[in-house]
Amino acid sequence: MSATASRSRNRARTQEAWLLGCALFITAVGMVTVDLTLRDTITALTLRILSTLLGASVIAHIVIRIRAAHADPILLPLAVLLTGIGTAVIHRLDFADELRAINRGEPIPASKAGAQATWFVVGAALLALTLIAVRDHRRIQRYPWTLTLLGLLMVLAPLVPGLGRTIRGATLWVSIAGLSFQPAEIAKVVLTVGFASYLARHGRALGALRARFMRIPFPRPRDLGPLLTVWALSLSVLILQRDLGTSLLFFGVFVVLLYLATEQRSWPLIGLAMFSTGAAVAWWMFAHVQIRVALWLDPFVGDGTSQVALGLYGLANGGLFGAGLGAGYPQLVPFAESDFIFASIGEELGLVGCIAILMIYAVLVARGLKIANTVRDRFGLLLASGIATVLALQTFVVLGGVTRLIPLTGLTTPFLSSGGSSLVANFIMVGLLIRMSHAARSAATTPAAGPGFDVVSAPRHDMAQTTQVIELPNARNIT
């Protein structure tokens, strides 16, 4: 390894360590502020949670330092920061639940913040395991059909009698040995890998457009098969599981990857038309979709206490700088720790806090797209783009529903919301991004092949694997 590459590696890991320290410090300030505001003392639970977050973050950092030393130093700190902020807000809501239980004479519920910290440990462990098991991201593209089939089975697993559970009208959960989780969260990772693998191999064939309509090239009818298949899958999820958010996420990611693989603007137009048709049919057929659209159009109907209306009240009450952690009333919004955690943040941290959260997500997505732009193989380009698209689309859909930009969909806010399945899946995706970032950045620091030879990378969009073109020595270099 050259001295330049060694210095670059050490500098990146030092930056990551400092940024992790900043993320954990912000988390500690939030947790302690909640305790001092509501209890006038720092609780033992806060110390346990902070110790858990610190230990898991250090272990993940050490694994990255050993297994992916050249990786982007910002990815892990951003994920830890979002998780820490979410844990602090959940911790604040735990106090409200405890007070409500005491007033009603009910047993005090278990701490959701403590459970979130435990799931953070699981997520950090799986991130480390991803880096250890996947030494080269290109190896996982060998099984496109297996991965896609596995993802489909995960999505449909809640429909198995005796295995699935229906909560709040949606059949999304699977219960095994008393442990409930959402297999669709893990499926979004598996299907993204499967979609990227398939399109890396067949994207060029799907881009061979023949027919034209209004000067826009359109695919041949036989090439519509993959898009129609995923569209049918998304509709089946909507119809059978009543899950609008997951349906939108899967179809949207596939359309984006299809566009990137073919570079043909007709595919997004076709996808938008198919999605609009499916949404119209869903609104016509299903009452729960009609209710969400009605609340989107008029959230203050009736007594004005719908979930959307209460979330908007909370955001308005926060103003510019918020009421302060522990000083607001976010517990009045149903599912404030999961679906509407952004409204909780808006009420107690204000518009400034909301903008800060949006900026963190924007930087995280931008780093994912930068990895896609620098990785040298076609599969890596599609996979990194797909992961960035999942994070961006899921964030937009959730926050758009909370702020009444679009109807509610039922997804969770990445890293922020309470929920183990979502947190674990998101950390696995960050692990894949770290692996691809290490491959791209280490290749950029690789020295030339030797005297008299120039190593030139072939265009990214024409490669199925990493390819190098070696030019013959120039005449002036021949002795």
Is a pLDDT exceeding 90 seen at residue 370?
yes
Using a pLDDT cut of 70, give the percent of the chain over it. Answer: 84
Please enumerate in sequence order all residues whose Cβ is within 8 A of that of 209, keeping only pairs 6 or more positions apart, or say none. 217, 218, 219, 220, 264, 266
| Contact in structure between 246 and 186 (CB atoms under 8 Å) | no
Q: Which residue has the higher pLDDT, 143 or 429?
A: 429
- Closest by CA position to 168, among listed 243, 227, 225: 243
Is a pLDDT exceeding 50 seen at residue 297?
yes
| β strands within 38-191, DSSP E | 164-167, 170-176, 179-181
Instruction: Tell me the average pLDDT across 118-144.
Output: 93
3-state SS of 180-236 is: EECHHHHHHHHHHHHHHHHHHHHHHHHCCCCEEECCEEECCHHHHHHHHHHHHHHHH
- For residue 360, the model assigns a pLDDT of 97
- For residue 460, the model assigns a pLDDT of 45
Q: Could you tell me how many residues make up the chain?
A: 479
Structural domain includes residue 207: no
Structural domain includes residue 467: yes
* Residue 453, helix vs strand vs coil: strand
Take residue 61 and report the two structure tokens written for it: 């950092």
Structural domain includes residue 97: no
Cα angle 99, 103, 107 (rounded to 5 degrees) comes to 75
- For residue 463, the model assigns a pLDDT of 41
pLDDT band at 464 (very low <50, low <70, confident <90, very high): very low
pLDDT band at 449 (very low <50, low <70, confident <90, very high): very low
Instruction: Summarize pLDDT for 74-110 with one digit per residue, the tens.
Output: 999 999 999 999 999 999 999 999 999 998 888 989 8
Q: Which residue has the higher pLDDT, 18 or 338?
A: 18
pLDDT band at 363 (very low <50, low <70, confident <90, very high): very high
Structural domain includes residue 289: no
Q: Of the given ranges (160-174, 301-315, 402-416, 430-444), which has the lowest mean pLDDT? A: 160-174
Q: Which domain holds residue 478?
A: 451-479
- For residue 263, the model assigns a pLDDT of 81
Structural domain includes residue 104: no
- For residue 42, the model assigns a pLDDT of 94
Q: Of the given ranges (68-77, 124-133, 147-156, 455-464), which has the lowest mean pLDDT? A: 455-464
- For residue 211, the model assigns a pLDDT of 63
Q: Return phi, psi of residue 312, to 5°.
A: -65, -40
pLDDT band at 59 (very low <50, low <70, confident <90, very high): very high
Query: How far apart are alpha carbons 55 and 52 in whole angstroms?
Result: 5
Instruction: Tell me the average pLDDT across 211-232.
Output: 70
Q: Which helix H or strand E contains 455, and what residues bound it? A: strand 455-457
Please state, rounded to an integer, the average pLDDT across all residues of the chain.
84
Structural domain includes residue 470: yes
| H-helix segments, 339-472 | 341-374, 378-402, 420-444
Structural domain includes residue 174: no
Task: Establish how many alpha carbons lie within 13 A of residue 147's alpha carbon, considering only the half-sphere containing its beta carbon.
Answer: 18
CA dihedral for 375, 376, 379, 382, sign (positive or negative): positive
Take residue 301 and report the two structure tokens written for it: 């109907």
- For residue 74, the model assigns a pLDDT of 96
- For residue 462, the model assigns a pLDDT of 45
Q: Which residue has the higher pLDDT, 155 or 53?
A: 53
Instruction: Summarize pLDDT for 253-289 with one digit per residue, the tens.
Output: 988 998 898 887 778 888 888 888 888 887 887 777 8
| β strands within 231-340, DSSP E | none
Q: Which residue has the higher pLDDT, 363 or 178?
A: 363
Is a pLDDT exceeding 60 seen at residue 471?
no
- For residue 183, the model assigns a pLDDT of 83
* Residue 381, helix vs strand vs coil: helix
Query: How far apart are alpha carbons 448 and 453 in whole angstroms?
Result: 8
170: which strand partners? 167
Instruction: Tell me the average pLDDT across 211-228.
Output: 68
Q: Of the given ranges (277-286, 303-312, 362-371, 399-408), which has the lowest mean pLDDT? A: 277-286
Please enumerate in sequence order all residues whose Cβ is within 8 A of that of 380, keeping only pairs 6 or more positions apart, or say none. 137, 138, 371, 372, 436, 439, 440
| H-helix segments, 207-335 | 225-241, 244-262, 266-285, 287-297, 307-318
| Contact in structure between 197 and 379 (CB atoms under 8 Å) | yes
Structural domain includes residue 202: no
Q: Of the given ranges (124-133, 350-359, 440-449), which has the lowest mean pLDDT? A: 440-449
218: which strand partners? 211
Q: How far is CA 280 from the centre of its chain?
A: 27
Instruction: Tell me the average pLDDT across 147-158.
Output: 83
CA dihedral 302, 307, 309, 313 (to 10 degrees): 140
pLDDT band at 466 (very low <50, low <70, confident <90, very high): very low
Q: Of the given ranges (2-6, 18-22, 405-409), which has the lowest mean pLDDT? A: 2-6
Question: What do you get for the CA distance between the two ends of the chain, in Å?
Answer: 28
Task: Establish how many alpha carbons lie within 13 A of residue 400's alpha carbon, considering only the half-sphere containing its beta carbon.
Answer: 13
* Number of domains making up the chain: 1
Is a pLDDT exceeding 60 seen at residue 180?
yes
- For residue 452, the model assigns a pLDDT of 37
Instruction: Tell me the average pLDDT across 185-212.
Output: 81
Query: How far apart are alpha carbons 168 and 190 in whole angstroms?
Result: 26
Is a pLDDT exceeding 70 seen at residue 451?
no
